Structure 1
């Protein structure tokens, strides 16, 4: 993968704010040509820096307003098995493998605190889950373009 420069980072930040922005709007915002924007997007996609695009709907935000991160410590070699079980839970939005103190970080979204608590209890009962720590997400802010 190639190194990203400041222009690449500013372009990605602009896309995080508005993933549907027209090339001409991005060019105006970043003060570079449309051709440069197109070439940068192609380069970022082909190098894997941009892995894909997604849509976040109002329903995604309002249907599951209780959100949190659960850090999980696993005993033994059960990470793949536990990851598979986690991915089967409807309240689990993503499972991230990590290093350091925690083996997995799980993004959870539910409609109510009771559902959130039930999900935590279900995960804690999984064979191989040794320890966990959970933090509720109170607000989310996306990075702003620098410079």
Structure 2
């Protein structure tokens, strides 16, 4: 990846709906160059997909929570594999400090969240968890 690839990715992160023509204009290159670079980044699986971001308040009934996870010994790969199989875990992050992993969870109700927490806690290799429900997002 070169500087232009990085600029292209930055533009797509800001607005993945930008047209190839608009991207080309912003980068000061031909549309064919942008189309080729996007295709190459997708083929190399640097770009693996595009998504829609919703404002948190657009789904008021959805419960969002962060789960801090402490892994038992050297079982991080085992725990990560289990969490990647959890459909309600929408993001998973490796971190430092007291907690080894942070998982963003989403659920439709408190009962649903409780079920998700029970499933996650059954993953072998998890020593301890702490979950916080997100009440309000500012940005």
User: Given the two structures, how large is their TM-score scaled by the length of structure 1?
Assistant: 0.63
Written as runs of structure 1 = structure 2, the 5 A alignment for 1:54-73 is 54-56=50-52, 62=59, 65-73=62-70
Count of residue pairs the alignment pairs up: 135
> Can you give the 5+ residue segments of structure 1 that lack an aligned partner in the other structure?
142-147
Name the CA shift for 1:67/1:8 in 2 (closer, same or farther; >3 Å). Answer: farther
Cα distance in 1 for partners of 2:37, 2:61 equals 35
Question: What whole-Å deviation, never above 9, does each CA across 1:1-45 have from its counterpart, x for those lacking one?
Answer: x3x42x433322332344343211222344432133224324433
Written as runs of structure 1 = structure 2, the 5 A alignment for 1:5-84 is 5=3, 7-50=4-47, 52-56=48-52, 62=59, 65-84=62-81
What is the aligned-residue RMSD (CA, Å)?
3.5
Query: Residue 29 of structure 2: SS of its match in structure 1?
Result: coil
What is the match of residue 116 of structure 2? 119
Q: Is the 8 A contact 1:66 1:136 kept in 2?
A: yes
Name the CA shift for 1:105/1:57 in 2 (closer, same or farther; >3 Å). Answer: closer
Per-residue deviation, 1:105:
2.6
Name the CA shift for 1:30/1:66 in 2 (closer, same or farther; >3 Å). Answer: farther
What is the match of residue 90 of structure 1? 87
Per-residue deviation, 1:74:
0.8
